[in-house]
Amino acid sequence: MPRTTKILNISLSKELYDEIIDIALQENRTKSELVREAFRQYSANRNWSRIRQWGDETARKLKIKDEQDIDKILHEK
């Protein structure tokens, strides 16, 4: 059966490596599980940041300052 995962080698400072080891041991997890979760969280935060940026740009273009401005846009006839 072919392998379904890929291996990624990375370089870390000794301090960061030691911190990963400590947390993995405390949480009874593998280093890989911990790093995978950290990347998933990073990716989710990055996506939300892009959404917030789009929202800010849209609000500026439409001159939206507060919820009342949004309500006016939604209920225009």
Q: What is the pTM of this model?
A: 0.71
pLDDT in tens, 45-72: 999 999 999 999 999 998 899 999 888 8
pLDDT in tens, 9-38: 999 999 999 999 999 999 999 999 999 999
pLDDT of residue 9: 95
User: Could you tell me if 34 and 27 are in contact, meaning their C-beta atoms sit under 8 angstroms apart?
Assistant: yes
In sequence order, what are the residues at sequence separation of 6 or more whose Cβ sits closer than 8 angstroms to the Cβ of residue 35?
20
Look at the alpha carbons of 49, 7, 10, 29 in this order and tell me if their dihedral is positive or negative: positive
User: Could you tell me if 20 and 35 are in contact, meaning their C-beta atoms sit under 8 angstroms apart?
Assistant: yes
